[in-house]
Structure formats: structure tokens, C-alpha cells
Amino acid sequence: MLLVLALASTVCFVIVGGGVGLKLLLLARRTRELPEFTVGLGFFLVALVGYPLGLAALAPGVDPAAARLAFAVGTVAVSVGSASIFVFTWRVFQPDQLWARLLAWAAIAGLAVVAWLGISDVEAGQNGGRLVDLWLVPRQLIVGVSYTWTAIESLRWFGLLRRRLRLGLADPVVANRFLLWGLSGVFASGGIIGSTAVALTGHDPAGHPVSMLCIGLAGFATSISIYLAFLPPLAYQRRIAAASPS
Amino acid sequence: MSLTNSQSFEFVCDELESRSELDRLAARGTVRIALKLAGLKASTVTAEQMRVVLERVIPKELTARGIENGDALSSALSSGLDQVETAISTEDPEAVFKRLGGGT
């Protein structure tokens, strides 16, 4: 049951995240602006490349060499995608702050190093032939920081726009988009915390009931949030606008 | 976000200081509090946004500070905003998120 939940939510995230990523990359091609490119690239790489290849690598009966290749490419995709989210948060929310620049570059460097170390470990067979590398925890922690940081910034802006809404100085749908993006960061962080906690106890998070439950719930919640944020149906937008205090 | 304040903010602070009994620090503090209540920032507030703050928020703040003609004073400051250039060079997160929800 938990396996079905985790798989269904992963498929849901691949479809929704991939759709959002493609939409934002197409938007970036038209506008030539960095924010839509970075967040679009992040979703595209994580949802459409990283997750499917990560699952393929763990599938039973897959040739070991092909599984290692899928693991390596998937790890690089997730790392580059997470780096894109760091750049998005830095450039959109704190473009003039030195600490934000340093945090983003430190995270990018960290992602590159732990991805390289993780792939090297698996290639060298240093983890008993398993595809869960020894560098999973640090990699997950850095990815978790990317979602947590963007959630904090976005929810802070939602607070500002709620005040503007009372004065008719903000678009309620845009304010709601900040809330949804912030919530998606909270949900994604929750999923990562759950699976990382399992890894820290010495268990393999792939297949463990706690991590499957966390990934399943977080995957669905994140998918719904980003769908409503970036691909909002007209009926949803009308409902948000009608409920606005302005 | 730029660390310098917008021209709208500077204009309203200067005018409030010269037209009321508030000193420079009190005038700037009053406008900053009003902007915070409105969810706006001194660095990016536009003339259009400042007009709404002058109409809906600042009169109450002036009254709270013992200034009796708060409505009239705010109205006069609002009229003066016509001459203020408020082009904001940096793109704020609100503009980005508005674009991200748009069509391709």
C-alpha cells in the first residue's frame, strides 16, 4: 500500500513537475528572463530526468552497468536542478545581499562535490553494490535547504502581499502564488527530512515504510501546490479573486 | 532590492517634516510604519502605491501622533506626488511571480 502511494505520488510529481518545468522554460525562451529559466530548469531536471532515472536505476532486473549510468545521470540532474532553485531564490528574493550570494554559491559547490563523490562511490562499488550512496544524506540536506530557503522567502512575501491586498495594492492570484510556492517548499522539505531521517538511522530509504509515507504525502502535496501556482485553472483563479479582501 | 529609498518615500518624508510639527526622524518613522502596515518597502514604493498609503493608512498614523489635520495634510502630500518620478529599475518578486503564472 505504501509502495503504491510512493510510486503514484512520484508519477504525479513527474507529470506535474515536468509540465510546469516545460511551461516555464517555454516562457523563458520568450521573455529571456532568468527567474523562469532557473525554476523551469529546476523542475525539468528534477521531475523529468532525475526522478525517472533514479527509479529506473532501482528497478529489478536492470543491467548493473545501465543502473549505475541511470543513477549517475539522475544524480547530476537532481543536483543541477537543485542548484537552479538556489539561483532562483537568490536572484528573485535577495539579489543584492552578499549572504544570499554566498549561500547559493556554497550550495552549488556542495552539490557538485557530493554528487561527484556519490557517483564515484557507486562506480567503485564501495557501498556493497547498492545504488544508495554514502553521500545521500549530505546531498539530501543541501537539496532540503534549497526548498526551505525558497519557502521562507516566498511565505514572507505572501505576508507582505496579504497586507497590500487589504488596500487593493496587490493581485490576489499572485499573492496566492507566493503562498503555494512557499507551501510546495515546505512539503518538499518534509519529504526530504523524512527520507533523510530514515537514512540516518542506517536503513535504506528506498523501500522503508516511513520514507515511502513521507515521499508519498509530500509528492502529492507538492504536485498540487505547483500545479495551482504555475498552471492555475481559470475557475481556481476566479475563486481566489472572489475571496480576496480587496 | 536597492538599499536606497524611492523618490516617493523621500518626497513624502521631506514634505511631512516641513508641513507638520514632526521632526525628521519622526516623519520618516511615521512613513516607514505606514508602509510596513501596507506591506510595502521604502526602497521600492511607487507614487501610485504611496497615494493609496496616504489616503488609507497615513491619516490614522498622523492622528495617533496628535496631528489634527491628518486627512488634509495627506491629501496635500498626495497631490504633490504628481511631480515625483517613480521608475523602479529593479524587478521585485511580485512582478516575477505575476509573470510565472502567465501563459507562454
**Cell, residue A108:** 552549488
CB pairs under 8 A between A and B: 72
Give yes or no for B38 touching A (CB within 8 A): yes
Closest-CA residue of B relative to A92 is: B93
**B37 → closest Cβ in A95, A163, A178:** A163
* Alpha carbon of B41: minimum distance to chain A alpha carbons (Å): 9
DSSP string, A17-36: HHHHHHHHHHHHHHH--HHH
**Model confidence over A151-195: pLDDT tens digits?**
999 999 999 999 999 999 999 999 999 999 999 999 999 999 988
Asked if the Cβ–Cβ distance from A23 to B3 is below 8 Å, we say no
pLDDT at A226 over 90: yes
In degrees, to the nearest 5, what angle opens at C-alpha A176 toward C-alphas A172 and A177?
A: 120
Residues A56-65 have a mean pLDDT of: 84
* pLDDT (tens digit per residue) in A89-142: 999 999 999 999 999 999 999 999 999 988 888 877 655 555 555 678 898 899
Taking CB atoms and an 8 Å cutoff, what residues of chain A touch B94? Answer: 157, 161, 170, 174
Rounded to two decimals, the pTM is 0.89
B29 close to B68: Cβ distance less than 8 angstroms: no
Nearest-CA neighbor of A9 among A222, A227, A220?
Answer: A220
Residue pair B101/A232 in contact by the 8 Å Cβ criterion:
yes
pLDDT over 80 (residue B50) = yes
CA B43, chain centre distance (Å): 10
B-chain residue closest to A94, CA distance: B1
Q: What is the DSSP string of A53-70?
A: HHHHHHSTT--HHHHHHH
Give yes or no for residue B3 having a pLDDT over 80: no
Q: Which of A50-54, A100-104, B3-7, B67-71 has the lowest mean pLDDT?
A: B3-7
Is the Cβ of B1 closer than 8 Å to some Cβ of chain A?
A: yes
Contact B39 A23 (CB under 8 A): no
Is A101 exposed, middle or buried, given 0-12, 13-18 or 19+ CB atoms closer than 10 A?
middle
- Whole-number Cα distances in Å, A136 to A3, A103, A113, A143, B75: 20, 20, 12, 10, 61
> Using the beta-carbon criterion (under 8 Å), do A167 and B2 form an inter-chain contact?
no
DSSP H or E run through A163: helix A136-166
The answer to whether A96 contacts B49, with C-beta atoms less than 8 Å apart, is no
Question: What is the interface pTM, i.e. ipTM, of the complex?
Answer: 0.90
- As a whole number of angstroms, the distance between CA A33 and CA B95 comes to 12
Q: Which residues of B touch A177 (CB under 8 A)?
A: 97, 100-101
Confidence of residue B54 (pLDDT cuts 50, 70, 90): very high
Closest CA to A104 of A80, A119, A118, A87: A87
Distance from CA of B32 to the nearest CA of A (A): 14
Site from B88, B97, B98, B99 to mutate, A interface, most A CB atoms within 10 angstroms:
B97
Identify the CA nearest to B45 among candidates B80, B74, B87: B87
Confidence of residue A56 (pLDDT cuts 50, 70, 90): confident
Which residue from A92, A163, A164 is facing B93, i.e. has the nearest CB? A92
pLDDT at A60: 82
Task: Give the separation between CA B13 and CA B64, rounded to whole angstroms.
Answer: 17
CB proximity under 8 Å: B 50-89 to A: 52-53, 56-57
A91 CB near a chain B CB, below 8 Å? no
Burial level of A96, CB count in 10 A (0-12/13-18/19+)? Answer: exposed
| pLDDT at residue A152, rounded to an integer | 98
Q: Report whether pLDDT(A196) > 90.
A: no
Q: Does the structure show a pLDDT above 90 at B15?
A: yes
CA atoms within 13 A on the CB side of A48: 16
Distance CA A20, CA A41 (A): 10
Residue of B94 and B84 predicted with greater confidence: B94
Q: Please answer yes or no on whether A178 and B97 come within 8 Å at the CB atom.
A: yes
The percentage of residues in chain A with a pLDDT greater than 90, rounded to a whole number, is: 66
**Residue A230 contacts B where some CB pair is shorter than 8 Å:** yes
The residue of chain B with its CA nearest to that of A33 is B96
The partner residue sitting opposite B101, judged by closest CB among A96, A163, A232, is A232
Rounded CA separation A146/B61 (Å):
39
The pLDDT score that the predictor gives to residue B1 is 44
Q: Which of chain A's residues have a Cβ under 8 Å away from the Cβ of B52?
A: 167-169
